[in-house]
């Protein structure tokens, strides 16, 4: 039995490390370097040889196993499967008797790979300073007021509220949302709104409405990480266009649009995730002009629409381009709570009707009881009251973070100063590998989201997303101090031993 060599990894650029490792072994099997029964190094051996985390190797092996390329058995380690599946695709080998080897669609495989790349970065619970999660602070949720609304809804509607409800969503909720959107400058009717199971479902439905498998979708880089996996799962091609406070890079956007890319563009012009950037009105107009040349549909993800804590609201893309080309998405997850799984899509009736049809055959309807409760919660004024409280708190937490970053991080990094939302994007100076930083900081009780998660290429090593949603003002300075200490230690280590965290 031949023992495998080890791969050489591209640490500064290239796909996530686990994917590089898995792809390397795929190549070894495809070109015959490794054959049936050959043993792969143990997780511990390979992690040590490559100076990577064991979980990285574990993820790579799990991905290979899912593809039917290797088999793991307790006691005999990981070996190339007795009849390995085609190294470049889903499992094709005949199943061994008594073993069901499913043949997955390319989308399911691709989504699974994306899922594994996120899995190692899920958050442990316990005594940590958690700057990694973009969710409201559980301690501040209006549990009591919401409970009263639930009880009132059940008392007044009885069983009638517990059915499927309307496919497009609760009519009263759509009317309330239409009124809110109209007040904010985009005349909207209830018929132009579809209630979705969160903005995430809105993104999926919008993408499916305009793009077929294999077709390209333009996204900003960096972008919301769950969109990368979503597009992979739908077998769509991701065209990443570098993007910053001044919008998408014009030359790259034009190239993407001209090359026939752009069945649609997915954007977050307000409180972008992960950067926190908000495009000003000039940038928005220019973006709409450029995409307008190709009549390219635009999805405007306005997921933190209620979380501006300073400055004037900027007109939405949909307000600036009311001809139906822009579809806007909203969410109750960030202003209220994500367990509702409620959001919406707003656009022209023609587009919303297609998306509503896709949704109907996808999940029939979103939970009707919680929609009715939400209507009650909004009508009593509790929602606006809650939002007002959140905005005050958000401003304080952002201010605490700004002050702490100025004290501890000035020599090591620069950062964004968003006017709303939860996220701050920190750019570290060369020499600080943020993947290593996130690992080390985690060992010291501070969680941040490393930039590569938001990079469609998976290669960003210089940014970190820090959110202030779940950390007290009192804890923020200490968390940032630990992050800064860890970063400067990495910078020092890098100058003394260049190899370890390259």
Ligand X SMILES: Cc1ncc(COP(=O)(O)O)c(C=O)c1O
* Window of 106-114, 197-205, 355-363, 452-460 that interacts with ligand X by CB under 6 A: 197-205
State the nearest-atom distance from the C-beta of 394 to ligand X, in Å. 15
What three-state secondary structure class fits 218?
Answer: strand
Return the residue matching tokens 């996220």: 423
Return the H-helix or E-strand segment holding 287. Answer: helix 281-293
- State which residue, 261 or 343, has the beta carbon closest to ligand X: 343
Query: Are the C-beta atoms of residues 266 and 234 closer than 8 Å to each other?
Result: no
Q: Which stretch binds ligand X (CB under 6 A): 80-88, 193-201, 349-357, 483-491?
A: 193-201
243 binds ligand X (CB under 6 A): no
The DSSP string of 41-81 is PPHHHHHHHHT--HHHHHHHHHHHHHTTSEEEETTTEEEE-
> CB within 8 A of 248, min separation 6: which ones?
220, 241, 242, 265, 267, 287
Binding residues among 8-37 for ligand X as defined by CB under 6 A: none
Q: Which of 14, 185, 338, 477 binds ligand X (CB under 6 A)?
A: 338
* Identity of the residue, 221 or 333, whose beta carbon is nearer to ligand X in the bound complex: 333
For ligand X, the closer of residues 25 and 377 by Cβ is 377
Convert residues 456-485 into a mask of x (bound to ligand X by CB under 6 A) and - (unbound). Answer: ------------------------------
333 lies in the site for ligand X, by CB under 6 A: yes
Report the C-alpha dihedral over residues 270, 273, 274, 280, rounded to 10 degrees: -10
Q: Specify the residue, 58 or 333, whose C-beta has the smaller distance to ligand X.
A: 333
As measured in angstroms, the least distance from the Cβ of 226 to ligand X is 6
**Which of 41, 68, 169, 198 contacts ligand X by CB under 6 A?**
198
Q: Residue 422 or residue 501: which is nearer to ligand X going by CB?
A: 422
Structure tokens at 259: 């090359």
Q: Which of 66, 177, 199, 401 binds ligand X (CB under 6 A)?
A: 199
| DSSP type of residue 455 | -
Binding to ligand X (CB under 6 A) within 107-136 occurs at: 134
Nearer to ligand X, 200 or 462 (CB): 200
Buried b (16+ CB within 10 A) or exposed e, 100-132: ebeebeeebbbbbbbebbeeebeeeeeebbbbb
Report, in Å, the least distance between residue 395 CB and ligand X.
20
Using the contact rule CB under 6 A, the part of the chain among 157-165, 232-240, 330-338, 377-385 near ligand X is 330-338
Count of residues in the chain: 502
Which residue from 220, 245, 242, 248 is spatially nearest to 416, judged by alpha carbons? 245
Q: Is residue 224 at the binding interface for ligand X, with CB under 6 A as the rule?
A: yes
Instruction: Determine, following the binding rule CB under 6 A, whether residue 200 of this chain makes contact with ligand X.
Output: yes
Is the backbone of residue 51 left (phi > 0), alpha (psi -120 to 50) or beta? Answer: left
Shortest Å, Cβ 85 to ligand X = 34
The residue (of 198 and 261) whose beta carbon lies closer to ligand X is 198
DSSP states of 338-386: GGG--EEEE--HHHHHHHHHHHHHHHS---HHHHHHHHHHHHTTHHHHH
Task: Choose between 301 and 460: whose C-beta lies nearer to ligand X.
Answer: 301
Q: Can you tell me the distance from the alpha carbon of 460 to that of 221, in angstroms, rounded to the nearest whole number? A: 10
Footprint of ligand X on 125-184 (CB under 6 A): 134
Distance CA 161, CA 183 (A): 29
343 binds ligand X (CB under 6 A): yes
| Count of chain residues binding ligand X (CB under 6 A) | 13
Nearer to ligand X, 278 or 333 (CB): 333
- Closest among 412, 418, 405, 454 to 433, alpha carbons compared: 412
Choose the binding region for ligand X from 91-99, 192-200, 434-442, 446-454 (rule: CB under 6 A): 192-200
CA distance linking residue 366 with residue 388, whole number of Å? 27
Residue among 20, 58, 267, 331 that touches ligand X (CB under 6 A): 331
Shortest distance, position 275 Cβ to ligand X, whole Å: 11
Q: CB-based burial of residue 150 (10 Å sphere; 0-12 exposed, 13-18 middle, 19+ buried)?
A: middle
**Other beta carbons less than 10 A from residue 177's beta carbon:** 22
Residue 60 vs 227, nearer CB to ligand X: 227
Answer yes or no whether residue 268 interacts with ligand X by CB under 6 A. Answer: yes
Q: By CB under 6 A, which span of 53-61, 115-123, 196-204, 399-407 interacts with ligand X?
A: 196-204
Min dist CB 199 to ligand X, Å, is: 4
Q: Could you tell me which stretch among 36-44, 194-202, 277-285, 290-298 binds ligand X (CB under 6 A)? A: 194-202
Q: Which residues of 358-388 are buried (b: 16+ CB within 10 A; e: fewer)?
A: bbeeeeebbbbbbbbbbbbbbeeebbeebee
Q: What is the binding site for ligand X (CB under 6 A)? A: 134, 198-200, 224, 268, 273, 301, 303, 331, 333, 338, 343
């Amino acid at each position: 039995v031949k023992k495998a060599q080890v791969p050489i990894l591209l640490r500064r650029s290239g796909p996530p490390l686990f994917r590089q490792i898995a792809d390397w072994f795929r190549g070894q099997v495809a070109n015959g370097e490794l054959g049936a029964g050959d043993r792969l190094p143990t997780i511990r051996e390979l992690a040590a040889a490559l100076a990577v985390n064991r979980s990285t190797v574990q993820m790579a092996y799990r991905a290979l196993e899912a593809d039917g390329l290797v088999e793991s058995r307790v006691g005999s380690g990981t070996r190339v499967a007795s009849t390995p599946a085609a190294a470049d695709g889903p499992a094709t080998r005949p199943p061994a008797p008594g073993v069901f080897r499913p043949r997955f669609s390319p989308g399911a495989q691709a989504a699974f790979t994306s899922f594994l790349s996120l899995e190692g970065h899920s958050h442990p619970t316990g005594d940590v300073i958690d700057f990694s999660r973009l969710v409201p602070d559980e301690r501040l949720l209006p549990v009591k007021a919401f409970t009263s609304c639930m009880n009132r809804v059940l008392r007044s509607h009885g069983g009638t509220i517990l059915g499927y409800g309307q496919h497009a969503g609760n009519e009263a909720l759509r009317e309330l949302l239409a009124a809110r959107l109209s007040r904010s400058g985009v005349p909207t009717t209830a018929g132009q709104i579809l209630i979705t199971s969160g903005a995430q479902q809105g993104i999926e439905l919008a993408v499916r409405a305009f793009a077929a498998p294999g077709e390209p979708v333009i996204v900003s880089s960096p972008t919301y990480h769950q969109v990368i996996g979503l597009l992979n799962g739908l077998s769509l091609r991701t065209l990443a266009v570098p993007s910053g406070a001044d919008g998408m890079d014009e030359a790259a956007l034009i190239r993407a649009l001209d090359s026939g890319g752009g069945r649609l563009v997915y954007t977050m012009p307000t409180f972008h995730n992960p950067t926190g950037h908000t495009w000003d009105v000039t940038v928005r107009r220019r973006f709409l002009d450029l995409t307008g040349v190709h009549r390219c549909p635009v999805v405007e993800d306005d997921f933190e629409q209620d979380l501006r804590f300073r400055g004037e609201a900027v007109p939405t893309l949909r307000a600036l381009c009311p001809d139906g080309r822009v579809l806007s998405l909203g969410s109750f997850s960030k202003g209220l709570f994500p367990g509702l799984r409620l959001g919406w899509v707003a656009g022209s009736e023609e587009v919303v009707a297609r998306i509503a049809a896709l949704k109907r055959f996808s999940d029939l309807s979103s939970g009707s009881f919680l929609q009715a409760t939400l209507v009650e919660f909004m009508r009593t004024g509790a929602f606006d009251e809650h939002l007002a409280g959140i905005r005050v708190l958000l401003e304080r937490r952002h201010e605490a973070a700004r002050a702490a970053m100025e004290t501890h991080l000035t020599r090591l990094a620069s950062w964004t100063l968003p006017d709303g939302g939860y996220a701050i994007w920190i750019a570290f100076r060369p020499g600080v590998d943020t993947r290593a930083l996130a690992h080390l900081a985690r060992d010291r009780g501070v969680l941040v989201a490393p930039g590569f998660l938001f990079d469609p290429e998976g290669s960003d090593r210089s940014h970190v997303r820090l959110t202030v949603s779940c950390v007290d003002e009192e804890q923020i300075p200490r968390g940032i101090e630990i992050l800064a200490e860890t970063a400067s230690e990495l910078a020092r280590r890098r100058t003394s031993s260049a190899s370890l965290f390259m």
